[in-house]
Structure 1
């Protein structure tokens, strides 16, 4: 049997897709893939900028920064509030009084009238550069009266770091010598204390000369026993009327309230000025007398008992 004839392959027309994907010779075209445009790499922050940002954050979150801002705000508010006030005699809101400028050492004087005192709060109180550096504490009066709060105040104030002095309220119609003895029996003065103080404000029915005689007996006895000149406290009017020209060798403490300056002559050598009787002090539930020392820290230190 003869072999069957081979079938001639039938040429088929290319499909539309084949024709589209082939070139003129019929070979398949290479597919061209559209490339996506390359993305440009974003540049990061430079090291210098990063460093600056870190520094800025540290400053903003620093308590010192906010302290500076608050201080600046407080200073501005203080300036606004003081408009129209005498810059040498302005109000201190914490103390609720006006305080004359030019004095660096301030203090108070207290008695049973102020009641129980929290001396730590007294010491911690401060506005601008004004704080309580010293305190004069009432000890005795006349011949028999001891202030009921003296021992407590005399013990607790130094513990809080307040420099103390003790004073006697003088009665001119009582023997000055015996008043001085009574005062020294009550108070034990030590190195670092302020000198003893005698508070003389009244004639108590005797003449000015008799008052001066008894006061002289008092201060002489105190000086002999303590080797320190006592301080004489009095009001401005009482000083001008009865004491001026006498006791010039003794430290002088004058009361003259609510004035920008102590109105005494340049020849008057005074050490302390009680310029207000209405100060409000932290730790004390009653108004308090407020005082300024006439001198710097060296002069104040020289005044203390050695």
Structure 2
């Protein structure tokens, strides 16, 4: 009879290491949401807001405040003739902050077939160039993505001329990095009072919740955030809703090549 060989210490250590690696990988996939039964996520009978008429493409913008999103349900939702045709996703804020849901949202939106765009929340008290570098370090744009977005909403006590200088530094740095003109997001009153003509060359995503069919602003715009109280399957909290000014061909032309 051949004696049974006991595994060597090295083999035992390898087996233990493999088990630990598999357990760690499983835990990571669970925590980050790769195992996501659709039943866990909320469903609605409608978007529960009044939709502006005459727009072909509707979309949302999200951040950590929407929690963990089930993107296949976002993509699948269809109410009358309205689907979610794009999503803007918060990437960064200030000098070093990365939205804690960004990487997950960025990957899952693409996997689910939702055209995506990334935005940076601007702090006027910080260097525009350094904030741009935070965004560039975090966001890898690919063909089919929307241009990068700068979200500027407050002065934080900074003089308007200093804010404009730093905003321009962000826009120029990001344009040089991605070779595409960034989109500028703001509210109507803020844009008209503190930004205005020097930034009219940049595509505008404007927020305005009062008028029903279009925002109250004189200059041209391409996206309009018209409501902040919408509901979407797969997202438990309220969501900002947007429309694109143009048809599907115009939208495809805007996407990175």
TM over 0.5: yes
Match among 159, 181, 201 for residue 133 of structure 2: 181
- Structure 1 gap ranges (5+): 1-91
Report the counterpart of residue 39 of structure 1 in structure 2.
none
The 5 A counterparts of 1:147-162 are 147-162=99-114
Deviation at 1:269, TM superposition (A): 1.2
SS in 2 for 1:99: coil
CA distance in 1, matches of 2:107, 2:45: 30
- For the 8 Å contact 2:208–2:216, the answer to whether it is kept is no
Deviation at 1:93, TM superposition (A): 6.2
CA distance in 1, matches of 2:210, 2:49: 9
SS in 1 for 2:224: strand
SS in 1 for 2:185: strand
Report the counterpart of residue 240 of structure 1 in structure 2.
192
Report the counterpart of residue 228 of structure 1 in structure 2.
180
CA distance in 2, matches of 1:212, 1:225: 20
**Structure with bigger gyration radius:** 1
Q: Map Cα deviations across residues 31-59 of structure 1 (whole Å, 9 max, x no partner).
A: xxxxxxxxxxxxxxxxxxxxxxxxxxxxx
- For the 8 Å contact 2:207–2:224, the answer to whether it is kept is yes
SS in 2 for 1:286: strand
CA distance in 1, matches of 2:153, 2:233: 28
CA distance in 2, matches of 1:171, 1:178: 11
Deviation at 1:243, TM superposition (A): 1.4
Report the counterpart of residue 304 of structure 1 in structure 2.
255
The 5 A counterparts of 1:279-298 are 279-298=230-249
More displaced stretch, 203-212 vs 252-261: 252-261
The change in CA–CA distance for 1:121 and 1:258 in structure 2 (over 3 A counts) is farther
CA distance in 1, matches of 2:178, 2:192: 28
Task: Tell me how large the CA RMSD over aligned residues is.
Answer: 1.3
Deviation at 1:261, TM superposition (A): 2.6
Report the counterpart of residue 102 of structure 1 in structure 2.
54
Report the counterpart of residue 278 of structure 1 in structure 2.
229
- For the 8 Å contact 1:98–1:258, the answer to whether it is kept is no
CA distance in 1, matches of 2:89, 2:217: 28
Aligned length: 214
Deviation at 1:246, TM superposition (A): 2.0
Report the TM-score, using the length of structure 1 for normalisation: 0.68
Deviation at 1:244, TM superposition (A): 1.7
SS in 1 for 2:176: helix
Report the counterpart of residue 30 of structure 2 in structure 1.
none
